[in-house]
Structures are given as C-alpha cells and as structure tokens.
C-alpha cells in the first residue's frame, strides 16, 4: 500500500457485528404493522444502509416518527438475542488497537443503538471515538461523520481508511478523501459492494491486517 495508514474508521452494523437478521426483522415488524403482508425479506434489503428517516420518508412521509419509534422499540427489545459478532472481528480490531492504529466507529444509527452493539460484543474497549447519528447534521454518504471522527482522532483523510458494507460507507469515504474497503459479507452481496468501487474488498475481516502489514493477535 502506497499510503501510510494510521487510522481505520469502521461502520458497525453489517460490518463489525451481524445485525442483519435484527434489522430485517425490525423492518418487517414495523412495515407489516402498517401494511400487512405487503413486504417480504427481499423487499427490505435496500433499506439497510440509509437512516431510518430516509427509508420511512420514502414509504410514508406522514408516519415517519411513528414508524421509527415502532422500529426502535422492537429493535432494542430483540437486540441481544439476534446480534452477534462476525467471525474474526474481535481479534482483528484488537490487533489494530495493539499495533497503535487510531480507531473510530462511524454509524448511521443513534448512539444508544451503537453502544448496545459495541458493549454486547465487547468491542467498546477498542474505540475512543464513536460518531453516531446523534453527533451529526448529515449522515453518510455526506463526509461530515467521517470528518468529525478524523478531527477527534487528530487524523488526516489521506492517512485513513473507511471500512463498511454499504454504498453509504464507500461513498462517504470517497467524499471525505479516505481510502475505502468494502466487506464481502455485505447482506446485499459482494457484487453490490464491489459496484461502488472501493479501493479493496475484504473477504474476511483479518484481510485488513494483511493490507496494513499488521501481525495477527
């Protein structure tokens, strides 16, 4: 790798922790309440990545807040039973931290939801900076969330990489001037994440250690 990388920014849901089933069930629970039997699993996959406000505004602008509230109540109630860490994530993030890399979470979720996931998987110990929807005016792919994370880490875009599973992560990284890495385990498939032309694709999380020449824990 030509650039000297000091900083790794991670999306959380679908990247570090497997919240796919939780998110799908949360959308189906919410949408089937208002539109019984209209939505199936494959119908809600496109909703994974944007903010809840963006998604529900596109469906029913007059009911956005009610739908968000119903979604979050179900999501938080089912969180711990449905969420798990992707294979190799804990060891990889631990290796990056121990090797001196500056790490941050940049998510389109609210802070409460982000922290539930980090604490459940014990990943919270590795991240000094967490940028959630609560800290920004504009969500990814706008560069603001990444810029805030870099500012708090005292890092420059050219020495950083954004890792994620959706177009919001890859385009957010490009808009902020960082390198980008897409994860092949995106719920929408490898071809989906590859279509946004990240600088490289991780087939498994530990691949980032190879790219950065970091020894495994």
Predicted confidence (pLDDT) per residue in 75-123, tens digit: 999 999 999 999 999 999 999 999 999 999 999 999 999 999 999 999 9
Q: Are 35 and 130 in contact (CB under 8 A)?
A: no
Q: Is residue 192 part of a domain?
A: yes
Write out the E strands in 100-171: 102-106, 129-131, 160-164
* Confidence at residue 187, expressed as pLDDT on a 0 to 100 scale: 86
Based on the fold, state whether residues 94 and 36 are members of the same structural domain.
no
Would you tell me the crossing angle of helices 52-59 and 64-82 to the nearest 10 degrees? 130
Based on the fold, state whether residues 123 and 88 are members of the same structural domain.
yes
Q: What is the mean pLDDT of residues 155-165?
A: 97
Quickly tell me which residue has 């809840």 as its tokens: 52
Question: Is 76 in a helix, a strand, or coil?
Answer: helix
Q: Is residue 2 part of a domain?
A: no
Based on the fold, state whether residues 193 and 111 are members of the same structural domain.
yes
Burial 86-124 (b: 16+ CB within 10 A, else e): bebbbebbbbbbeeebbbbbbbbbbeebbbbbbeebebe
Q: What is the mean pLDDT of residues 162-173?
A: 96
Q: Is residue 11 part of a domain?
A: yes
Give the chain's domain count: 2
- Looking at every residue in the chain, the average pLDDT score rounds to 95
- Nearest of 24, 6, 30 to residue 213 by alpha carbon: 6
Is pLDDT of 1 > 80?
Answer: no
11 labelled catalytic? yes
pLDDT band (50, 70, 90) for residue 147 = very high
Based on the fold, state whether residues 114 and 183 are members of the same structural domain.
yes
Q: Which residues constitute the domain of residue 24?
A: 20-82
Among candidate residues 11, 13, 165, 169, the one labeled active-site is 11
Based on the fold, state whether residues 120 and 194 are members of the same structural domain.
yes
Based on the fold, state whether residues 106 and 189 are members of the same structural domain.
yes
Is pLDDT of 138 > 90?
Answer: yes
* Model confidence pTM above 0.85: yes
Contacts of 111 by beta carbon, 8 Å cutoff, 6+ apart: 130, 132, 133, 134, 135
Q: Are 205 and 92 in contact (CB under 8 A)?
A: yes
Last residue of a domain, one of 82, 116, 132: 82
- Nearest of 102, 137, 135 to residue 10 by alpha carbon: 102
Phi, psi of 117 (to 5 degrees): -70, -40
Overall residue count recorded for the chain in this entry: 217
> d(Cα 124, Cα 32) in Å, to the nearest integer?
34
**Count of CA atoms in the C-beta half-sphere (13 A) of 213:** 6
Q: Is residue 52 part of a domain?
A: yes
């Amino acid at each position: 790798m030509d650039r000297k990388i000091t900083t790794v920014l991670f999306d959380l849901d679908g990247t570090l922790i497997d919240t796919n089933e939780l998110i799908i069930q949360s959308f189906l629970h919410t949408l089937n309440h208002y539109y019984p039997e209209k939505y199936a699993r494959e119908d809600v996959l496109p909703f994974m990545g944007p903010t809840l406000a963006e998604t529900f505004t596109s469906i029913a602008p007059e009911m956005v807040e009610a739908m968000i509230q119903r979604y979050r109540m179900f999501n938080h109630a089912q969180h711990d039973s449905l969420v798990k860490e992707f294979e190799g994530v804990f060891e990889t993030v631990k290796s990056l931290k121990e090797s001196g890399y500056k790490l941050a979470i940049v998510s389109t979720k609210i802070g409460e939801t982000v922290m539930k996931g980090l604490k459940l998987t014990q990943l919270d110990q590795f991240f000094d900076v967490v940028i959630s929807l609560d800290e920004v005016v504009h969500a990814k792919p706008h560069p603001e969330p990444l810029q805030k994370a870099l500012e708090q880490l005292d890092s420059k875009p050219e020495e950083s990489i954004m890792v994620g599973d959706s177009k919001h992560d890859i385009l957010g990284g490009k808009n902020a001037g960082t390198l980008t890495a897409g994860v092949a385990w995106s719920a929408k498939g490898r071809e989906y994440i590859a279509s946004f032309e990240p600088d490289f694709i991780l087939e498994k999380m530990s691949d980032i250690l190879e790219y950065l020449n970091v020894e495994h824990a």
